[in-house]
Amino acid sequence: MRVVITDLNLLPLRDELEALVPQDELVWLPDDLLDALKTADVLVGPSFTQEMADAAPGLRLVQVAGAGTDRVQATGVPVANTYHHEDSIAEYIVWALIALRRELPQADAALRQNRWRSPVYDAALPQPQTLSSARVGFLGFGHIGRATWRVLQAFGAQAQAVTASGKADGVSWAGDTSQLPRLLEESNVLVVSAPLTEATRGIIGAAELSKLGADGVLVNVARGPLVQEQALYDALRNHSIRGAALDVWYSYPTDGDQAQPAEAPFGDLDNVLLTPHLSGITRQTFRGRIHDIAANLTALAEGNELRNLVRL
């Protein structure tokens, strides 16, 4: 089979992927994508447009090397995704919660100016609390939520969840989105890991953030637009919530590595951790993904069932 690969994240594992599917012809990052697609059986990449579909009459599979398929248009070609990012993202979430709840970025910045920002030297500062006092509300409880909860349990945290189905195993309670106000009122941490849909777009706004409260911390590892941009900025600026870790954004680079991630100046705030959608980007994540990709290429060639097919 002829497989066209457009995902740059797979390039560091090129030799490993080629060793897994030696029978296939892998075409890496072609200069003329539309021309390469004319004879392609499979596209491995993050996006698929109607123009690409028109150029690829023999295409049998679009394989996304990640979870998100929001850049793939429904064209009648089967689409599959892959995960393996949940452990890496769980690690990121735990790091973010410890840093924000103990205000470690502020302490770091202060000591660079020779100020010892600690309750030991400033009695006005409250003593921070460990994760054992965290009441974690999960908005979405899929791969990421479950992996994060497995880790947080070791710290003695407590959790509840709101999901589309209203179901989540192993937490104190679970409900559907009608229970979101309760979730926020009973949580001092909100982990946003739900998919972006028309139902979830903007689901967290000013009213929801006010329920999270002044001691609340938000971590968004899903998609930026689940949380209303201006409402979040205002809550952070006014200290209506304690802090936020934002790994997903409202705009992204279209060429190169330069782009303003949001219209609001989040970078001016000292109570927010800003990261460029890297929480799941580890070697372990992509090693797991290439094994899924290789398994689907083999299954397609042999006429067997594909894994992780997505209904767009």
CA atoms within 13 A on the CB side of 117: 14
Domains observed in the chain: 2-84+283-302 (3.40.50.720), 86-274 (3.40.50.720)
CA-based angle 68:69:73, to the nearest 5?
A: 160
Contact assessment for residue 171 and residue 160, using Cβ atoms and an 8 Å cutoff: yes
Would you call 68 exposed, middle or buried from its count of C-beta atoms within 10 A (0-12, 13-18, 19+)?
A: middle
Model pLDDT, residue 294: 98
Which of 243, 277, 291 minimizes the C-alpha distance to 92?
Answer: 277
Q: Which two tokens stand for residue 234?
A: 């205002």
67, 157, 248 from 193: Cα distances, Å: 12, 18, 11
> For every one of its 312 residues, what pLDDT tens digit does the chain have, with 9 covering 90 and above?
999 999 999 999 999 999 999 999 999 999 999 999 999 999 999 999 999 999 999 999 999 999 889 899 988 999 999 999 999 999 999 999 999 999 999 999 999 999 999 999 999 999 999 999 999 999 999 999 999 999 999 999 999 999 999 999 999 999 999 999 999 999 999 999 999 999 999 999 999 999 999 999 999 999 999 999 999 999 999 999 999 999 999 999 988 999 999 999 999 999 999 999 999 999 999 999 999 999 999 999 999 999 999 988
Model pLDDT, residue 223: 96
Q: Which residue has the tokens 């690969």?
A: 5
Model pLDDT, residue 312: 81
Q: What pTM, to 2 d.p., does this model score?
A: 0.91
